[in-house]
Amino acid sequence: MTAAADDQDPHVLRELIARSQETIDRLNLDLARRTNDVRIIQQISSEITSTLDLDEVLGIVLGAMERVLGFQHSMLLLAEPAGDTVVVAATRGYGRPSTDARVRIGDGVIGVVAERKALMRVGNIGTSLRYLQAIRARMQAAGQAPAGEAPAALPGLPDAQSQLALPLLVKDRLVGVLVVESAKPNAFDDLDEVVLRIVGNQAATAIDNARTYRMVDQLGRLKRFFSPHLAELIIRGGADDPLKTHRREVTVVFLDLRGFTAFAETAEPEEVMGVLREYHAEMGKLILAHEGTLERFTGDGMMIFFNDPLPVPDAGRRAARMSAEMQERVSPLTAKWRRLGYELGLGIGIAKGFATIGGIGFEGRWDYGAIGTVTNLAARLCGEAKGGEILVSTRLAGEIEDIAETEELAPLTLKGFARPVPAMKLVRLKPA
């Protein structure tokens, strides 16, 4: 536009005006697009922040990518608690969804974005790959084999040419990665980046809130069955999903109060509840302290097991120690109850074996259950135990003999067991 204009020459003038008009048209188009995008962003952000349901939030974000911003292929990956992968949580425009596909931090565009926590836009993936593959081939031919392996198939379009990936961050903590991609090279521009950054910011907070909400909700449910420490471990992914059916070798501890039935029939309801409350409180503290899993309690009976959902190397010893401490703890209680006129005593049975474990119940009411011979055995041993006694299956002898003094018993005839069961009495813990 610096050409000196002879403003007497209509031809030159017309040229100048034509060129100015082109520029104005282009700027207007740009402005219209920007204005439209601002409106879109406002709309999206109000939708995103309107819900705490994680799946809804993911759906809104990707729906916006497609319908409103025109990105045909998009994905949301969420950071895993363990911290070394991001997992595909939602996709749009792929036909076959690849949720649960994982990307290791540092692999490919998505992995590097997660690692560096910075946005990346690439428009020449095919060209770059071919270039590097050519170099790699020459290095191999020259005997300079590059050490690395290409990562296993990355989620998304198999031949994506363009990708725009941004980290979803809440105060520098990685929540996940938002990706849009295209089979065309150079598909995304500066304005796409700007828009995505803004939406990404909103999405990061909304997703983080929804995830936290979901975790707190789950934590509440899990805390009914597990110690808070264990519940948190499960949420964070340190233990497997306990409600999925699985088989595990567990050590089971069964307790109940001798004389409770008679007591419950004759005592006042308030007194019964009082005793139960005191009993549960004390037993509960010990279960938490030894990190056992409380599977159920029905009145005075309680079933606890070890090695699930969190595997532990010393399940038998924990069971033995907890049981000994329970007897110790209940002793002053039974003395107190005796003074009040109630003859109550704690019997404990311990057994070890395989059980099938998982969620039992129905929608809205799931319980954590264990089924197997081992639970029956522990219950029967408990039934045989007198007040103050701990009866243990001899299968545990090897495990506990160095921490507990035991006394062998004559094999017991137990209901539901065809042959007499060898058992021993746990007399006391050996001094440490």
Do 428 and 387 meet the contact criterion of CB atoms below 8 Å apart?
A: no
Q: 404-408 and 423-429: which strand pairing?
A: antiparallel
42 vs 127, which CB is nearer to another protein?
A: 127
Q: Select from 3, 4, 142, 418 the one that contacts another protein (CB under 8 A).
A: 142
Residues 146-185 that bind another protein (CB under 8 A): 146-151, 154, 185
Do 256 and 381 meet the contact criterion of CB atoms below 8 Å apart?
A: no
3-state DSSP helix/strand/coil percent for the chain, to nearest 5? 45, 25, 30
- Determine, following the binding rule CB under 8 A, whether residue 129 of this chain makes contact with another protein: yes
- Determine, following the binding rule CB under 8 A, whether residue 27 of this chain makes contact with another protein: no
Largest Cα separation within the chain, whole Å, is 124
116 vs 236, which CB is nearer to another protein?
A: 116
Amino acid identity of 82? A
Do 207 and 78 meet the contact criterion of CB atoms below 8 Å apart?
A: yes
d(CA 164, CA 231): 37
Q: State the nearest-atom distance from the C-beta of 207 to another protein, in Å.
A: 23
Pick the closest to residue 370 from 415, 306, 321, 417 (CA basis): 306
Q: Select from 32, 38, 135, 340 the one that contacts another protein (CB under 8 A).
A: 135
d(CA 135, CA 291): 56
- Determine, following the binding rule CB under 8 A, whether residue 361 of this chain makes contact with another protein: no
Under DSSP, is residue 430 helix (H, G, I), strand (E, B) or coil? Answer: coil
169 vs 344, which CB is nearer to another protein?
A: 169
Under DSSP, is residue 241 helix (H, G, I), strand (E, B) or coil? Answer: coil
Do 405 and 428 meet the contact criterion of CB atoms below 8 Å apart?
A: yes
- Determine, following the binding rule CB under 8 A, whether residue 108 of this chain makes contact with another protein: yes
Q: State the nearest-atom distance from the C-beta of 16 to another protein, in Å.
A: 18
- Determine, following the binding rule CB under 8 A, whether residue 134 of this chain makes contact with another protein: yes
Q: Which among 39-47, 142-150, 235-243, 273-281 is the span making contact with another protein, rule CB under 8 A?
A: 142-150
Total of chain residues touching another protein, rule CB under 8 A = 40
d(CA 290, CA 6): 95
Q: Select from 13, 36, 131, 311 the one that contacts another protein (CB under 8 A).
A: 131
d(CA 351, CA 252): 5
Q: Which among 89-97, 186-194, 282-290, 340-348 is the span making contact with another protein, rule CB under 8 A?
A: 186-194
Pick the closest to residue 116 from 165, 76, 78, 149 (CA basis): 165
- Determine, following the binding rule CB under 8 A, whether residue 109 of this chain makes contact with another protein: yes
131 vs 354, which CB is nearer to another protein?
A: 131
- Determine, following the binding rule CB under 8 A, whether residue 113 of this chain makes contact with another protein: yes
Q: State the nearest-atom distance from the C-beta of 120 to another protein, in Å.
A: 5
- Determine, following the binding rule CB under 8 A, whether residue 102 of this chain makes contact with another protein: no
User: Residues interacting with another protein, by CB under 8 A?
Assistant: 106-109, 111-113, 116, 118, 120, 122-125, 127-139, 142, 144, 146-151, 154, 185-186, 189-190
